[in-house]
Amino acid sequence: MTSAGQLRHATIVQGMNRMPGLLKLGSFLALLFLPALAMAAGGAEIQAMSVEYRDVPGIGSRNLVWVVAQQHLLLAGFVLGVPIFAWICELVGWKTKEQRYDKLAKEFTKLLTSAYATTALFGGILLFLLIGLYPKLMAYLTDMFFPSFLVYCLLFLLETATLYMYWYGWDYMQGNKKTFHLFLGFLLNLFALGIMIVPNSWATFQASPVVVGEGDAWARAWMAMKNPTWWPVNIHRLIANVVLGGFIVGAYAGVRYLLAVSREEREHYDWMGYVGNFIGVFGMLPLPFAGYWLMREVYQYNQQMGITLMGGFLAWLFILQAMLIGVLFLGANYYFWLGITHRIPGSEGQYKKPVMGMLIVLLLCLGVWMTPHSLVASLAEAQKMGGTHHPLLGVFGVMSAKMTVSNIMILVTFMSFIMYWRAGKQETAGWAKAAKAIMGALLVIAGIAVVVLGVWGYFVPAIIRINYFSVAQVLIVLFIMVTFTPLTALLMKSAKTTTEMVWGKMPIRAGYSLVLNAVMVILLMSLMGYARSSSRVHWHIYGVMRDTSEYAYSPALGYAAAFMSLNTFVFCLIVAFIFWVATLGDKAKAQPPKGSPVDIPSHTAPAMAGGAPSSGEKLE
Amino acid sequence: MSEVALLQIIGMCVIGVGIIILLFIKGMFLRVLGFVAMVLGVFSLIALSVPQMASLPPAVETFDIASVKSPDDLASIGQKIFFSKGQCALCHSIGPSESARCPDLSGIGAKLSPEFIYESLTQPQAYIYLDFRHDGIPKEYPAQMPHIDQDPIGLSKQEIYSVIAFLQKMSGEPISIKVEDIMESVEEPDVSLKVASVTSPLNSQTPNMADR
């Protein structure tokens, strides 16, 4: 080890002496288990003295790291999102006593063991590539963050041990032990959250570094971790992982629904697709708010970075983002509407007009959201318009309009869900009429308020709009969601079912719409990853360490989109492989005889939508 | 053929393959893959149809001592260092700012002597105020300011002088750093590690502010 390495090691040991006992034990264990990483980091430092970069012939170092990092991140999102999905399902099954939710949770937890291994594999490849191809940068980050590496590895050990207990103890921990199993599921997600937020600090430090003052290694690492965009990214990624987990489950169910040969299979995967879509939409609704907070923090940290993102060379990226989010909103709503018309017989005519109205509103909003600030125009066209701003469409190209329509799209999607929830039921509570009237009035007032604030936003300074008007719009929409959900749940609790819900009758296009939603989410994650990385422009660490390699430029959107598409396709294949491997054992099991009772009652409404849980199969 | 045209052809081929699979292949899994390929091909084509702008890195700024002819040149270099290598603008603002995490530096060149600024940059813990906003013994504020002459920022002595020249100019003060002083300091060995004892061109005595 070099003298600098010895000095740092001594500093770490000194830092450990000042730590609480448990943390010290954990760090010591992590140190024991991590000789390879420590040596690799030390090696990077030695190499950094002579080599700043290495290249890979043909594909190029940057492109190779791009593909591997993207696969690792998407897989990580998957393995962090699925446990949240599984735990929520298990919790719902435990609360409602419906066995099918417990089975669903178990089915997806089974995937985690192979998915974890694949994620770790790509993580390991990424680490080796980074150490080999970017030794100077890695030496700097290792010097800054080494104590957090230990915490990261400790969390991995805890996560793995918890996953083993959670998965292998599933059948054992039923009945009285179920609460402990749920607690294990909670711990699993808690450690997973830690595994996500620790490396987030490394990546966000690259985008929004802070000057690190004096202190021991632990204090310095903590100072660097607490950078301005750390928590906005943590929250944004946490919600995004829920969305990814939900929609991938939905896509899996969609594919299995398309492949299904028996009625039982169709019913099962139709229901699974519903649950996946529900959780995906549930996460998607607050996601734009988290994204807004992140952008606010970026602007607060460095206005130039914000301008690069929103108004600089990445401005057109946000038009693509609007398109993808718009298709996702349309896809999720379309699936809800298909559910209303195919699962609840006789409701086609009843909901035709509201569905058409919602579709028109969504398309209009999408049109506004996708309107660019500056149009691509020929010289003659620009002279006619008096610039690149269209006299009419230019009004829609600004943030005030986009914030307004995104809030309206969230409101419409939320109302789609409420409509689906209430379909085929008749409220019996005495106060139902008054409650529905109040909800209707609140919805109208909220819609008008969001539009008024949006229009008013044109006439006030940007800072007033950003700090007050946009925040007010978000709070109004959140208020509607927070008040309508429990109110509808109360209404539906005593409602009588007028039309039974029928599973397994969805058309083929429903399966494709679930696949489309998942592809949109994966593309969105890839696109925004490119945006986050490109916002640093020619810096490895913004304003601190300049990228002096031949790949210091940020590629244009078209080239980047080709990579995103490639990454998305490869990720889909990897996930399909994981699902295939995980279900190999099931295929070997004997098929149940025809006509045997299925575990999914075809007439029940899902408990997640406040249906009649009492009619489901009871847990022992 | 341009890169965009090549990618467009690839995108169209992918869409074509997707259409052929959907039209002629009956296997449902392959049909789903064909559908995904079509979606991705359409996305790529749309992305290729918007203006294609790459972000190229600017030329690397270097401190060329030979280019310094006047104190104004020095201040100009100092300004570049302030906003780039020196990382000053990561925390400090010049003028009121909501996002600044550390003191506003507007007028700092008029308020503080060059010696004090030099010491603040190289020995941030040397002179710190006490925190009386609580009962009991006043505590020392930990200085967030890093040693600017040490890694990772590691400004050279000439670069620090340039930044001070910029701060003075920005504050409307006459620039007290002389070009000759800069030239002399180039010849001093290992200046960055002997900050406390160095005979600086700013002042022949650099007092330790903590003694005050």
Lowest mean pLDDT among A76-80, A291-295, B2-6, B83-87: B83-87
Residues A313 and A554: beta-carbon distance below 8 Å: yes
Question: Mean pLDDT throughout A424-437?
Answer: 86
Asked if the model's pLDDT at residue A611 lies above 80, the reply is no
Q: Which two tokens mark B96?
A: 């009121």
A558/B47 Cβ within 8 A: yes
- Does the pLDDT at position A211 exceed 70? yes
CB contact under 8 A, A515 and B32: yes
Residue A475 has pLDDT above 60, yes or no: yes
The pLDDT assigned to A4 comes to 41
Average pLDDT, chain A: 83
Inter-residue contact B90 to A543 (CB < 8 Å): yes
pLDDT score for B134: 66
Q: Which residue of A has its CA nearest to B11?
A: A562
Give B5→chain A minimum CA distance, Å. Answer: 10
Judged by CB atoms closer than 8 Å, whether chains meet at A538 and B55 is answered as yes
In this predicted structure, what is the pLDDT of residue A604?
46
Q: Give the separation between CA A571 and CA A553, rounded to whole angstroms.
A: 26
The predicted pLDDT at position A11 comes to: 40
**Which of A204 and A460 is assigned the larger pLDDT?**
A204
Ranges A176-190, A251-265, A346-360: which has the least confidence: A346-360
Weakest-pLDDT range from A49-58, A330-339, A525-534, B120-129: B120-129
The pLDDT of residue A388 = 57
Instruction: Tell which wins on pLDDT, A557 or B135.
Output: A557
- Out of A140, A546, A564, name the one closest to residue B152 (CB): A140
pLDDT band (50, 70, 90) for residue A362 = very high
Asked if residue A361 has pLDDT above 70, the reply is: yes
Closest approach of A581 to chain B, Cα-based (Å) = 15
Q: Between chains, do A211 and B90 touch, taking CB under 8 Å as contact?
A: yes
From B204's Cα to the closest Cα of chain A, the distance in A is: 28
Listed in sequence order, the DSSP H helices in B87-201 are: 108-111, 114-122, 157-170, 179-187
The pLDDT, as a whole number, for residue A5 is 41
pLDDT of residue A128: 96
Q: What is the pLDDT of residue A48?
A: 46
- For residue A383, the model assigns a pLDDT of 65
Virtual torsion, Cα B84, B88, B91, B94, nearest 10 deg = -100
Six token digits for residue A299: 């602007």
Instruction: Determine the pLDDT at residue A150.
Output: 96
Contact A611, A501 (CB under 8 A): yes
Provide the pLDDT for residue A507: 94
- Asked if A525 and A244 count as a contact pair (C-beta separation under 8 A), the reply is yes
Is A537's CB within 8 Å of B55's CB?
Answer: yes
B125 to A565: CB separation less than 8 angstroms, yes or no = no
For residue B50, give the nearest of A212, A316, A564 by CB distance. Answer: A316
> Which chain B positions have a beta carbon within 8 Å of A554's beta carbon?
54-55
Q: Are A571 and A577 in contact (CB under 8 A)?
A: no
Look-up of token digits 């660019």: A372
Alpha carbon separation from A490 to A39, A94, B1 (Å, rounded) = 59, 20, 64
Task: Express as a percent the part of chain A with pLDDT over 90.
Answer: 50
A224 has a pLDDT exceeding 60: yes
Of A255, A300, A516, the CB nearest to B98: A300
Of B50, B57, B146, nearest to A319 by CB-CB distance is B50
- pLDDT grade for A22, boundaries at 50, 70 and 90: very low
Point out the residue among B7, B87, B142 whose CB comes nearest to the CB of A558. B7
Q: Contact, A229 vs A541, CB < 8 A?
A: no
Question: What span, in angstroms and rounded, lies between the C-alpha atoms of A205 and A202?
Answer: 5
Parallel/antiparallel/unpaired status of strands A496-497 and A539-541 = unpaired
Residue-wise pLDDT tens digits, A155-182: 999 999 999 999 999 999 988 889 999 9
Query: Given a cut of 50, is residue A469 above it in pLDDT?
Result: yes
Sort out which chain A residues have CB atoms less than 8 A from B21's CB and list them. none
- Residue A536, min C-alpha distance to chain B (Å): 10
* Candidates A211, A524, A533, A568, partner chain B, best to mutate (most B CBs within 10 A): A211
Using pLDDT thresholds of 50, 70 and 90, give the confidence band for residue A377.
low
pLDDT surpassing 70 at residue B123: yes
Among the partner-chain residues B40, B48, B90, the one whose CB lies closest to the CB of A210 is B90
Q: What is the pTM of this model?
A: 0.77
Across the interface, whether the CB atoms of B29 and A255 are under 8 A apart is answered yes
Query: Does A565 sit within 8 Å of B54, measured CB to CB?
Result: no
Identify the closest residue of chain B to A545 by CA–CA distance.
B85
Indicate the range of A364-373, A492-501, B47-56, B189-198 predicted with least confidence.
B189-198
Contact B37 A569 (CB under 8 A): yes
When CB atoms are compared, the residue of A316, A543, A559 closest to B3 is A559
What backbone phi and psi angles, to 5 degrees, belong to A254? -60, -45
- Cβ–Cβ below 8 Å for B91 and A320: no
CA distance A521 to A528: 11
Q: Distance (Å) from the C-alpha of residue B85 to the closest C-alpha of chain A?
A: 7
Question: pLDDT, tens digit, for every residue of A68-109?
Answer: 999 999 999 999 988 998 999 999 999 988 888 898 899 889
User: In angstroms, what separates the C-alpha of A94 from chain B's closest C-alpha?
Assistant: 34
Q: Which residue of A has its CA nearest to B28?
A: A259
Q: Which residue of B has its CA nearest to A519?
A: B36
Look at B58 and A538 and tell me if their CB atoms are within 8 Å: yes
Looking up tokens 């200046």 gives B191
Contact A322, A366 (CB under 8 A): yes
Question: Which residue from B36, B87, B153 is facing A519, i.e. has the nearest CB?
Answer: B36
CA distance, residue A222 to nearest chain B CA (Å): 13
Amino acid at B167: L
Nearest residue of A to residue B97, measured between CA atoms: A300
Contact criterion met (CB < 8 Å) for A558 and B89: no
| Block residue for tokens 């006439």 | A459
**Residues from chain B contacting residue A324 (CB–CB below 8 Å):** 43
List the single best residue of A550, A557, A570 to mutate versus B (max B Cβ within 10 A).
A557
d(CA A155, CA A120): 13
* Pairs of residues, one from chain A and one from chain B, whose beta carbons lie less than 8 Å apart: 140
Q: H/E element holding A540?
A: strand A539-541
Closest to A367 measured CA to CA, from A341, A404, A336, A342: A404
Nearest to B40 among A546, A554, A569 (CB): A569
Chain B neighbors of A543, CB-CB under 8 A: 84, 87, 89-90
pLDDT in tens, A239-263: 999 999 999 999 999 999 999 989 9
Bridge partners, residue A98, by sequence: A618
Structural contact between residues A572 and A519, judged by C-beta atoms closer than 8 angstroms: yes
Which of A217-221, A522-526, A596-600 bottoms out in mean pLDDT, i.e. has the lowest? A596-600
Which residue in chain A has the smallest CA separation from B45? A558
Residue from B4, B17, B21, B32 whose CB has the most chain A CBs within 10 Å, to mutate: B32
Please report, in angstroms and rounded to a whole number, the separation of the first and last CA atoms in chain A.
Answer: 60
Nearest chain B residue to A541 by CA distance is B87
Q: Tell me the nearest-neighbour CA distance from B173 into chain A, angstroms.
A: 28
Phi, psi for residue A618 in degrees, rounded to 5: -85, 145
Residue numbers in B near A214 (CB within 8 A) = 124-125, 142-143, 146
- What integer pLDDT is reported at residue A424 of this predicted model? 81
Question: B44: distance to nearest CA of chain A, Å?
Answer: 5
Coil, helix or strand for A243?
helix
